[in-house]
Amino acid sequence: MNHESLLELVNEMTLEEKVAQLQQLTAAFYRGAQTDSAITGPLEELGIDQNTVDASGSILGLSGAEAVIAIQKTYLENSRLGIPLLFMADIVHGLKTIFPIPLAIGASWDMELAEKSAEIAAKESAVSGIHVTFAPMVDLVRDPRWGRVMESTGEDPHLNSLFAKAFVRGFQGDDLKDPERIAACVKHFAAYGAAEGGREYNTVDMSERQMREYYLPAYKAALDEGCAMVMTSFNTVDGIPASGNEKLMRGILRDEWGFDGVLISDWAAIRELIAHGTAEDDKEAAYRAMRAGVDIEMMTPCYVHHLPELVQIGAIDEKMIDEAVYRVLHLKEQLGLFENPLRGADPVREKEIVFCEEHRNVSYELAAKSCVLLKNEDQVLPLKNEQKVALIGPYADSHDILGWWSAEGVKEDAATLGSALGAKMEQGKLMTSAGFSTKHISAEQLAHARELANQADVIVLALGEDSAMSGEGASRTNIQLPEAQIQLVQEMKKTGKKIAVVLFNGRPLDLHGVYDEADAILEAWFPGSEGGRAVADILLGQVNPSGKLTMSFPRSVGQVPVYYNRFNTGRPMDPAKTGERYVSHYIDSPNEPLLPFGFGLSYSAFSYEEPIFSSLEMTAEEPLRVQVKVTNTGEHAGTETVQLYIRDISGEVVRPLMELKDYARLHLQPGESGIADFTVDEAQLRYHHSDLTYTSDPGRFQLFVGPNSRDTLSSEFTFVTSFS
């Protein structure tokens, strides 16, 4: 269907049919899904009638080829104009083959695998009847109290942008008509990750410059990659809820960035304008959201109830509604639904490819690359063949390793750490004390743990948050491990045995009670369907860990937010000098996080040589070449992520102490050296000035290279322009 035919179709529609296209509901409302009696309840609750449902444009949260086909067929039988229904769902890190949570994927720094994971998620979703995923979530995150940091790739705008692009490419491929791909919906626009105090759904208030510099780039990157949809966020932006924020949606998103795809509200976010206090009732909420440019209303009926009237009284121009409807129909057309409303949905193929071995192998690979070795004193890890190991703790034999946003994933299909280790270790070398909850450990369990620990050469403590402790609606003020687990660590410490801790969790934790006590710590996050096996292989030395944190681990929650690309302040603290009062510091804690952005150890050791510059002056025409020689001085082959950061020494506005500009991943055999070869160009020096222009300035720059944002080698170069 071409542009003209779509316009004709819009013209043929009644106003009621048009606004119904802008309504999104869950499957519970649809004929063909369940018996009609089950539908009556939700209809009454929302106050909508069957005609609206029959004409509504999209559905969320359903997957399964048979169910989708049944609903689509019934829907089309009742559709006057034969417009197919769009099926959307939250496929955030896999459909049934669950990949590590996005924060873990972030730690892989591996764009190819990230893309591959999205491609597989798309393939499994498409065959199960899904057309659109509500992903990628690219909210920049600096506050680990917020439960949804698990959905983001971290605190860095550059890295988040690269991941945003990789995910969009993976989901969408080159052509939305490809029945093995699905449309992506970048979310949550905008700045949802900056909720005050890390409290879910809380206020966001920041300067526009700050928003453009740090928070907006990843959404823009997703759109530059062709992302088909955008979802609004729940928070306010400069006092106006995002879902009713005309400046944000029409101003930045549509007019400035030229986005002409579908913009959907988050769940009930249009009606929530009332609770926010920027709408008196559903009618005003509908008015504001439509004016702001939101096309689809998710799960509340403000549009269907009030847009017709708002048009009749002249408050909303019908043209605005036509445009929104056109965008929805256009997306259906792009996905090929008019030609084939069942698209990729195929119950037979669904059984063949969903959770197939090939997909699980990619999940394994990504899990293996996402784990971050946080500490490894005396090379306690990897475990040695001859060692007797006591595996203890709530995650010793737990299937709860998929993480939030994995509704279609089957926990029981994920091998536990205990079973994966057991399958690889010699008979009799592994003793497991499991069955604990994350928050409570009984006296008998503790006694059993002690008994096993005493018989072992080394203790592996598998600890963490349960998966419901992160994700949406799971903000915490205390981000330590639950008290019972800290006590378990203390008890185990008394045995005098070496302790390796494996952490399963969805956010950077405050590691009090664990970090100093453990000899080794492996951050496994929620590693997904194959996570148990991947972690076991790392513990046994069959895989060398290579993940690097993309979110800082604070020393305590009192430091939060703590992130690497911070400002210096006028009175920076010199860590070498303590006891100075009038410097920017805490009297009870260092300023630096416990574990900085970019940090992650390996079973190998890597040494860095001073970077070699092609010149100490750079111009817009002649970029700099910076080469860093890195040698694997350890005994294992390993991968090192060499990071390059830049500081603009003097800006028109204050510039961060350092910003990640590039990185290179080197795979090195023992004794082997490699060169990380970087090009630094003018575009990398640009930033938002006080008038919001995005340009670079001539002057001095510091350049840092290293294995993380803390342990760097630094040099200087000058950027010269013909005016400087």
Point out the residues that are catalytic: 266
Identity of the residue, 64 or 623, whose beta carbon is nearer to ligand BGC in the bound complex:
64
Identity of the residue, 84 or 102, whose beta carbon is nearer to ligand BGC in the bound complex:
102
* Burial tier of 413 (Cβ tally within 10 Å: 0-12, 13-18, 19+): middle
Cβ-based neighbour number of residue 595 at 10 Å: 24
HSE of 563, CA atoms in CB hemisphere, 13 A: 20
Could you tell me the smallest distance in angstroms from the CB atom of residue 528 to ligand BGC? 19
Q: Using CB under 6 A as the criterion, what x/- string covers residues 447-476 for binding ligand BGC?
A: -------------------------x----
**Total site size for ligand BGC, rule CB under 6 A:** 7
Q: Using CB under 6 A as the criterion, what x/- string covers residues 172-201 for binding ligand BGC?
A: ---------------x--------------
Structure tokens, 189: 């626009």
Bridge pairing between strands 687-688 and 694-695: antiparallel
Identity of the residue, 90 or 110, whose beta carbon is nearer to ligand BGC in the bound complex:
90
Structure tokens, 284: 């005003």
Could you tell me the smallest distance in angstroms from the CB atom of residue 496 to ligand BGC? 47
Could you tell me the smallest distance in angstroms from the CB atom of residue 326 to ligand BGC? 23
Could you tell me the smallest distance in angstroms from the CB atom of residue 150 to ligand BGC? 12
Identity of the residue, 192 or 553, whose beta carbon is nearer to ligand BGC in the bound complex:
192
Could you tell me the smallest distance in angstroms from the CB atom of residue 31 to ligand BGC? 22
Bridge pairing between strands 606-608 and 624-632: antiparallel
Identity of the residue, 266 or 466, whose beta carbon is nearer to ligand BGC in the bound complex:
266
What residues have CB less than 8 Å from 382, skipping those under 6 apart?
A: 538, 539, 540, 541, 603
Could you tell me the smallest distance in angstroms from the CB atom of residue 54 to ligand BGC? 22
Calculate the alpha carbon distances from 386 to 389, 417, 431, 538 in Å.
Answer: 9, 19, 14, 16
Q: Give the dihedral sign, CA 437/442/444/447.
A: positive
The yes or no reply on residue 519 touching ligand BGC (CB under 6 A) is no
Could you tell me the smallest distance in angstroms from the CB atom of residue 22 to ligand BGC? 16
HSE of 604, CA atoms in CB hemisphere, 13 A: 28
- Round to whole Å and give the CA distance between 595 and 582: 26
* Burial tier of 183 (Cβ tally within 10 Å: 0-12, 13-18, 19+): buried
Identity of the residue, 267 or 504, whose beta carbon is nearer to ligand BGC in the bound complex:
267
- Round to whole Å and give the CA distance between 619 and 597: 30
With H, G, I as helix, E, B as strand and everything else as coil, classify residue 187.
Answer: strand
Say if CB 334 and CB 326 are below 8 A apart: no
Identity of the residue, 90 or 397, whose beta carbon is nearer to ligand BGC in the bound complex:
90
Could you tell me the smallest distance in angstroms from the CB atom of residue 592 to ligand BGC? 33
Could you tell me the smallest distance in angstroms from the CB atom of residue 92 to ligand BGC? 8
Could you tell me the smallest distance in angstroms from the CB atom of residue 401 to ligand BGC? 22
Q: What share of the chain is helix, strand, coil (3-state, %, to 5)?
A: 35, 20, 45
Residues within window 112-141 making contact with ligand BGC, judged by CB under 6 A: 134
Say if CB 214 and CB 257 are below 8 A apart: no
Identity of the residue, 134 or 167, whose beta carbon is nearer to ligand BGC in the bound complex:
134
The yes or no reply on residue 267 touching ligand BGC (CB under 6 A) is yes
Identity of the residue, 231 or 664, whose beta carbon is nearer to ligand BGC in the bound complex:
231
- Round to whole Å and give the CA distance between 12 and 86: 20
Say if CB 655 and CB 646 are below 8 A apart: no
Identity of the residue, 10 or 137, whose beta carbon is nearer to ligand BGC in the bound complex:
137
Could you tell me the smallest distance in angstroms from the CB atom of residue 100 to ligand BGC? 18
The yes or no reply on residue 681 touching ligand BGC (CB under 6 A) is no
Q: Using CB under 6 A as the criterion, what x/- string covers residues 41-80 for binding ligand BGC?
A: -------------------x--------------------
Say if CB 155 and CB 597 are below 8 A apart: yes
Residue nearest to ligand BGC (CB): 134
- Round to whole Å and give the CA distance between 297 and 306: 12
Q: Give the dihedral sign, CA 251/257/263/266.
A: negative
User: Cis omega before residue 241 (within 30°)?
Assistant: no
- Judged by CB under 6 A, the residue of 156, 213, 225, 266 near ligand BGC is 266
Calculate the alpha carbon distances from 559 to 3, 78, 244, 487, 657 in Å.
Answer: 54, 58, 33, 24, 17
Instruction: Write the single-letter amino acid at 491.
Output: E
The yes or no reply on residue 90 touching ligand BGC (CB under 6 A) is yes
The residue assigned the tokens 């008196």 is: 280
Cβ-based neighbour number of residue 209 at 10 Å: 15
Say if CB 362 and CB 98 are below 8 A apart: no
Identity of the residue, 72 or 233, whose beta carbon is nearer to ligand BGC in the bound complex:
233
* Residues within the interface to ligand BGC (CB under 6 A): 60, 90, 134, 187, 266-267, 472
